[in-house]
Amino acid sequence: MFYSVDLLSAHRGKFGIIWLAATRVRKQLSRKELNSINIVSACNEITAYILGKTQLRLSLYLASQLTFGVCIIYREKVIIMLRKLDMSYLFV
């Protein structure tokens, strides 16, 4: 195994929600879970694991899954923002 299981823990792991976004149905993630993820810091942490700047390393498959999860979360955040803008435009 090329990663620590604690990294993917849904409640305690840093990449738990990102991994769930990549592997589960996207609509099952709440707005609170989506907003708890900082896209820039998540990308930087994944890059650090890929480049081996930390003691732990990730397999290439897991790194690509996490990158895909970040893309899914980013897409969902953009959709939420567009819906808010549409609603504010209707009331102006």
The tokens describing 81, both together, are 């923002």
Could you read off the pLDDT of 51-60 as tens digits, one per residue? 887 777 788 8
> Left, alpha or beta for 36 (phi > 0: left; psi -120 to 50: alpha)?
alpha
The count of domains in the chain is 1
pTM above 0.85, yes or no: no
Range of the domain at 42: 5-90
Mean pLDDT of 12-40: 85
DSSP label of 38: -
The tokens describing 72, both together, are 């899914």
- Half-sphere exposure at residue 11, Cβ-oriented, CA atoms within 13 angstroms: 0
As a whole number of angstroms, the distance between CA 89 and CA 75 comes to 21
Could you read off the pLDDT of 30-45 as tens digits, one per residue? 889 889 999 999 999 9
